A and B are shown apart, each in its own frame.
Chain A
Amino acid sequence: DTGVSQNPRHKITKRGQNVTFRCDPISEHNRLYWYRQTLGQGPEFLTYFQNEAQLEKSRLLSDRFSAERPKGSFSTLEIQRTEQGDSAMYLCASSQTSGGAIETQYFGPGTRLLVL
């Protein structure tokens, strides 16, 4: 399977715990995005990497959230001191620089987080 993969698929944690999610993009893609989706809403942008550089962060990404893409391949998203409001589906997407043409983002299956 050469699509975007995410692990774990589901995570249940207690409030105050730290959690980490992993995303493996499509291998030749240099851009990687994280989104969050809550019930009844579309995905909301969190942050974006080009290779290993984190180029943009949403105001949704509080200081409890941190993302890395150390070698420009896989990425991790960590949430510290989780809160019940962090319960959501966390989606990862990847794309390849297109030189001005439409750059399609391909999504992984997501990690569903439930904070009790």
Chain B
Amino acid sequence: DQQVKQNSPSLSVQEGRISILNCDYTNSMFDYFLWYKKYPAEGPTFLISISSIKDKNEDGRFTVFLNKSAKHLSLHIVPSQPGDSAVYFCAGFSSGSARQLTFGSGTQLTVLP
């Protein structure tokens, strides 16, 4: 049962344009969501988070939007830079009985110079 889904395995955008990475979830008990970026042979690096009671959170070039009714979140990167090329994971966290992050399968973002 995939509780968190990232349906696009890859995305290519031009440098300077907007990157939009999408994530869908089925577990309505998630308390918050986090986005991580991962380079090859490294661990995931935290990017940005959003509480389930919010619909938007912004940090510099990164903005996360949450649509609870659609069980959908998205990460916007503006402007995209070549150094943003990495695999992006969204993850949901429930503070109930199962204290764990549940990750999607990731989206490979490539920013073309």
Q: Please give the residue numbers on chain A whose beta carbons come within 8 Å of chain B beta carbons, in ascending order.
A: 4, 6, 33, 35, 40-45, 48, 55-56, 58, 91, 93, 100, 102-110, 112
User: Could you tell me the dominant secondary structure of chain B's interface residues?
Assistant: strand
Chain B's interface size range is 20 to 34
Q: Cβ of B49 and Cβ of A102 under 8 Å apart?
A: yes
Specify the chain A residue showing the minimal Cβ separation from B98: A56
Contacts of B93 in A (CB 8 A): 103
Assuming the contacts A40-B105, A102-B32, asked whether A110 and B100 have C-beta atoms less than 8 A apart, the reply is: no
Assuming the contacts A107-B43, A107-B44, asked whether A41 and B105 have C-beta atoms less than 8 A apart, the reply is: yes
Q: Cβ of B102 and Cβ of A45 under 8 Å apart?
A: yes
Q: Cβ of B106 and Cβ of A48 under 8 Å apart?
A: no
Q: Cβ of A105 and Cβ of B101 under 8 Å apart?
A: yes
Q: List 5 A-B contacts (CB under 8 A).
A: A40-B105, A40-B106, A42-B104, A48-B99, A108-B43
Q: How far is the CA of A55 from the CA of B93 in the complex (A)?
A: 16
- What is the minimal beta-carbon distance from B33 to any residue of chain A, in angstroms? 9
Q: Cβ of A106 and Cβ of B103 under 8 Å apart?
A: no
Q: Cβ of B46 and Cβ of A45 under 8 Å apart?
A: no
Task: Provide the B6-33 mask, 1 if CB < 8 A to any CB of A, else 0.
Answer: 0001000000000000000000000010
Specify the chain B residue showing the minimal Cβ separation from A6: B43
For chain B residues 66-113, which have a beta carbon within 8 Å of chain A?
Answer: 89, 91, 93, 95, 98-106
Assuming the contacts A104-B46, A106-B46, A107-B43, asked whether A43 and B103 have C-beta atoms less than 8 A apart, the reply is: yes
Partner of B49, one of A6, A41, A104: A104
